[in-house]
Structure 1
């Protein structure tokens, strides 16, 4: 067997021997790293992941509970049920309309039985919603008051203070907040609208105040009236400039411009009927607008 021919395959140069040595050192180092390293990190991450999954499961369960929970309905005065409120309670359109018509006559229901009589709702619906009715304390304690009146009938009581209707232009924020349904925000809007106009000339203008429901407007009309002040500053429709007309709450810039053009081409306006001929003029508010103008 010729060993010389095999020997030349195992003969390495100096650089090759150094390379083999370095490779050997690297292999030994990798083996030591494998045996000495701690690979328990994955287990820690796995346990953290399980904790997060458990927490997420609890959150999902809470969401499901809240989603399926029925909304809380608080007691309310049935005299002031809106269309949407009546619909949510299960009332028909006709039943809601009967209540609205009854309230427009400035009448109130004072018991669940009277509510059914006015609206015509079924007994089953009445049994369902009547526990939520909340009438004024003096109505709930009517029997007590009647008894007290009989027992103390011989005593002298002070006369009931006469109901006074206030001028809406003289009302303070405190006066307005005494009306059922009006808080600090709505009262501020009413006073701001009065400041913009100078004065109210009609209680119909309450409809222009954002946020006032028909029921609240009706209550305002009971407690207040609009007295036109003698010093109300009016706009001379035949002499006012475009800028002055555009600043008037009931005129937009486009309408004010049309008024000036019409006036220059056709002469002065004699009355509100002449003014109403202009395109886009708010005819439905003509009566109110005329009280702010001077012809």
Structure 2
């Protein structure tokens, strides 16, 4: 101990203080030891309560209302995606698409009162449908041309020259050439050429709203021309996902080189893809990405 004090150059006062501190610490340790081993043990009583099932259960609506992926109490609903017309889809088809009975009833009531969907965006008018629901259903909405044509002619005076001219501008954007596109309001030589170029890269449009993705295309121009545009999805050119190599997949505007590589590698490890559901097994893929590319894949 003397060498310890000399090493740190403790004064006589500092040495006394250090000794008192050590004794205090030792006393505290002894007191804790005595208290732990000699204090009376308290008996802790336990009561078991059974939670009644009816209090713990939730209704289906409470569990998945306003969520894009419906979940029931104790189970998960399998959602199936397929092309559908919101003007004719049955209750069972809406259920397969993942909508709750309450949301479906609102849609059916709207239709029963004479309401119709002329464009995909019209589905947003259903107040009970969330934005997430619309985003996941939008790629699969197919409006019959008769309904779209009815809207385009409704509200226009056939005797007015301007109205007649606008009615003549019904353009199917998957087959129109640049001369037809230039007849639309706000579409000139540059934009019409970009539309055709982007359409060829995509393999065709499945929605009028995709025109907003064309470089330099003002949103207002698309909105103004939307009532005069149609989309024939039969003309879509699809990629054979089980045959295409990384290069071919990555040429699509919606698929990056890394995503194409992931698809090819997963296919090599697990075998051919049977449906879009197999691609959902790739955890690195965002569901929005898969819903966006599904119309362009052939299984």
Q: TM tier, shorter chain?
A: 0.3 to 0.5
Between Structure 1 and Structure 2, the one with more helix by share is: 1
TM-score normalised by structure 2 residue count: 0.41
TM-score normalised by structure 1 residue count: 0.41
